[in-house]
Structure 1
Amino acid sequence: MLQSRTMDDRQRQFAHRMRAQPTEAERVLWHRLRHDIALSGSHFRRQALIGPFIADFASRRAKIVIELDGGQHAENAADMHRTRQIEERGYRVLRFWNHDVLSNIEGVLAVIQNALTPTPDPSPQ
């Protein structure tokens, strides 16, 4: 138990340091997640702890995690494992390249908004 608490404390401290030093893509997306009217009904956290992982952004209520990736993440087996582990906790994981956030923020926001919009139940017919 003590070891688990120490690990949780270290993760929180690391997440805090990551929040203090965001990448340019994280800074741009965070500003829009906080201020965009279309997303105002959702509450996202930066560098949120999801189990043993630190997600770039997470909405606990909507059960959505947003991950921003640079070139080092292309076809990364560790990222695929991490995504599966987060999904097993009930979250939907949306991944975007940093370049897409910086060059097409409106498109990225449209994908996020679409994920936040509940799909209607199928017709009973």
Structure 2
Amino acid sequence: MAPSRIDAKTRETAKRLRLDQTKGEKLLWRALRELKTDGIHVRRQAPIGPYVADFVIFSRKLVVEIDGDVHGLPEQQEHDRLRDDWLRSQGFDVLRYSALDVEENLEGVVLDIRRKLGLA
């Protein structure tokens, strides 16, 4: 087996984040696990290079992010832009949803993701 390109610190961060999910992440995770019936495997808090994605579907090269209030801060927006640019350079599409949208419109968010995957 080839050695992983994910460093130990990123792996540890992913593990910690899986144990400390936000309300929106918990809600969306429950819904995204249902994609298994469509043959889609979703991973949560998955390391990708130097980053940890909230949710990723490696087979479709799709990252789904849930943005809380902190993502409205200018420095966080710049970090998100650089991160998204890097993920796209690796061939990933990135979908972002606000935590509020996930909590208030979970069905609509899931439908949007299913459409992106060609399932709706």
Q: TM-score, normalised by structure 1?
A: 0.83
Higher Cα Rg: structure 1 or 2? 1
Show the counterpart of 1:23.
Answer: 22
Show the counterpart of 1:56.
Answer: 54
Per-residue CA distance 1:52-80 (angstroms, 9 max, x = gap): 11000000001100000012112611101
Offset of residue 40 of structure 1: 3.2
Residue ranges of structure 1 left out of the alignment (5+ in a row): 119-125
Does the CA-based 8 Å contact 2:53-2:63 persist in structure 1?
Answer: yes
Aligned residues: 113
Does the CA-based 8 Å contact 1:34-1:40 persist in structure 2?
Answer: no
Offset of residue 35 of structure 1: 2.5
Distance across 2 between alignment mates of 1:95 and 1:24:
16
Between the aligned residues of both structures, percent identity stands at 40
Does the CA-based 8 Å contact 1:19-1:46 persist in structure 2?
Answer: yes
**Aligned-CA RMSD value:** 2.0
Show the counterpart of 1:66.
Answer: 64
SS at match of 1:61: helix
Q: TM-score, normalised by structure 2?
A: 0.86
| Consecutive aligned runs of 4 or more in structure 1 exceeding 3 Å deviation | none
Offset of residue 36 of structure 1: 5.3
